[in-house]
Amino acid sequence: MPDDSAPLLPDDTGAPPGCGPLGAPGAAAARTIRAQVFDRIRAMGRASRIDLAKDLSVSPASVTSAVADLAAHGLVAEYPLPRAPGDPARGRPPVALGVRPEAGAVAGIKLSDTVHSAVILDFAGQRLAEATLPSGALRQDTGALVAAAALVLDAARAGLPPGSPALRAVGVGLPGLVDHATGHVPWSPILADRDVDLRAALAARLGLPVALDNDANLVTLAELWFGAGRHLPDFAVLTIEYGVGMGLVIDNRLYRGAQGLGTEIGHTKVQLDGALCRCGRRGCLEAYVADYALVREATTALNWGNRGVASPTVLLESLYDHAKAGNAAARAIFRRAGRYLAVGLANVANLFDPSLILLSGERMRYDYLYAEEVLAEMATLLLDTGRPPPRVEIRAWGDLVWAQGAAALALDLATATALTAEA
């Protein structure tokens, strides 16, 4: 069954649990002390000056100076801590540093072929509001997609508590090839246009700075900032929905490739002259594993070609029900998809040796895709090193978690802007 045990979102236990990577801060050595101190405070939720100096391997004086500057600009503050049992209530109460939630807010938006979702977080990473709307169309032109993003953001804003801080930035993710650095989208299955400067179009419509990324990277950022990946320097996320995506964290950082278009596991080739992929090439992994691949197989093997306008979701649910009921053809479709998934998992493990591989996406409800025989077949395809294979865990998270990852993207942008502007 899907593993929902790892906490992903902030809880309601009082002090914020923090957000952001908790790995060794050495990966951020190129950042200023001021930026490192701020990142560490937010990641820890509450932190003392002594702990900050120890964790960052800098002098207490450097931390004191950075904290004073951050506090002067309204980004951090001291918060009282509960006294230890038996501690007499005398003298100054214990305090710890925390990010001021009122310092600002950010929004994260996930655009997809079925629904668009948005969340709004304060500067400490606590969720303030959320919204989900149907997408209305599988493929839209740039103007329609930008309008849809504005609509779902407005819906989330309508749910904000009174007195919420102003938005500082927006993160947006969508499937396909997305150049994070330039904001261009060479191709997306939900865009009718190609080579679109989507970041500029979104920024003009929303009136805010925008960060753009591939949707698989959003799930990876959600795990890196809020979930199982906070404590791991290296891990991979494979997403299986209408397509197959991948996000990769190396040394506590999201890896995007030299041109910002890397880790496209769904378009690695697993069969020469194989099935046609929606990207226009043949033999891609997602042409055997993704939603549209399963639907295509079902329409042929189960003679469903006459089902008219039934949605892919309806067809998938029917295919799954048939497989569960013992239909041999339906079971064979999932079995073949599982075997190709095992090839993809083995390739990721052999290439990157991550400590953890997370399988994420709504389709992880279909347990045939991660049955024991799939993981066993993956093991047979790995190099025989004499060491255990990477752990594989399941995340059947919903659409809001993708948006949560987009909000992490926006937090990163807003933080960099705030620290630069107020230096």
| CATH assignment at residue 50 | 1.10.10.10
Give the residues across from 357 on adjacent strands. 236, 392
pLDDT at 14 over 60: no
Q: Of 7-21, 182-196, 337-351, where does mean pLDDT reach its minimum? A: 7-21
Contact 394, 359 (CB under 8 A): yes
SS3 breakdown of the chain: % helix, strand, coil, rounded to 5?
40, 20, 40
In this structure, are 180 and 206 located in the same domain?
Answer: yes
Return the closest-CA partner of residue 244 out of 273, 212, 278, 221.
278
In this structure, are 277 and 290 located in the same domain?
Answer: yes
Tokens of 408: 């992490």
What mean pLDDT value characterizes the chain? 87
- The reported pLDDT for the residue numbered 89 is 59
| DSSP H/E element including 128 | strand 127-134
Last residue of a domain, one of 102, 120, 137: 102
Q: Of 111-125, 300-314, 359-373, 409-423, where does mean pLDDT reach its minimum? A: 300-314
In this structure, are 196 and 273 located in the same domain?
Answer: no
pLDDT tens for residues 21-75?
Answer: 887 644 455 689 999 999 999 999 999 999 999 999 999 999 999 999 999 999 9
Say if 96 falls within a structural domain.
yes
- The reported pLDDT for the residue numbered 190 is 93
**Pairing relation of β-strands 356-360 and 235-240?**
parallel
Say if 215 falls within a structural domain.
yes
Sorted by sequence, the CB contacts under 8 Å of residue 351 that are 6+ apart come out as none
Q: What are phi and psi of 34, to 5 degrees?
A: -60, -45
Distance CA 131, CA 151 (A): 10
In this structure, are 205 and 261 located in the same domain?
Answer: no
In this structure, are 296 and 391 located in the same domain?
Answer: yes
Say if 16 falls within a structural domain.
no
Last residue of a domain, one of 60, 86, 102: 102
pLDDT at 15 over 50: no
Please work out, in degrees rounded to the nearest 5, the angle formed at the alpha carbon of residue 131 by the alpha carbons of 128 and 132. Answer: 155
Q: What are phi and psi of 127, to 5 degrees?
A: -75, 135
**Could you tell me the residue range of the domain that residue 417 belongs to?**
104-221+400-421
Say if 181 falls within a structural domain.
yes
pLDDT at 208 over 90: yes
Distance CA 304, CA 40 (A): 55
In this structure, are 241 and 203 located in the same domain?
Answer: no
pLDDT at 418 over 90: yes
Q: Can you list the alpha helix ranges (DSSP code H) found in 78-130?
A: none
In this structure, are 290 and 240 located in the same domain?
Answer: yes
In this structure, are 381 and 261 located in the same domain?
Answer: yes
pLDDT band at 8 (very low <50, low <70, confident <90, very high): very low
Say if 1 falls within a structural domain.
no
In this structure, are 142 and 98 located in the same domain?
Answer: no
Say if 9 falls within a structural domain.
no
Say if 344 falls within a structural domain.
yes
pLDDT tens for residues 86-140?
Answer: 656 565 667 899 999 999 999 999 999 889 999 999 999 999 999 999 987 778 9
Last residue of a domain, one of 55, 74, 102: 102
Distance CA 130, CA 221 (A): 18
| CATH assignment at residue 374 | 3.30.420.40
In this structure, are 294 and 386 located in the same domain?
Answer: yes
What predicted TM-score, i.e. pTM, was given to this entire model?
0.87
- The reported pLDDT for the residue numbered 310 is 64
Q: Domain total for the chain? A: 3
pLDDT at 165 over 60: yes
pLDDT at 7 over 70: no
In this structure, are 155 and 60 located in the same domain?
Answer: no
In this structure, are 46 and 191 located in the same domain?
Answer: no
pLDDT tens for residues 224-239?
Answer: 999 989 989 999 999 8
Say if 226 falls within a structural domain.
no
pLDDT band at 242 (very low <50, low <70, confident <90, very high): confident
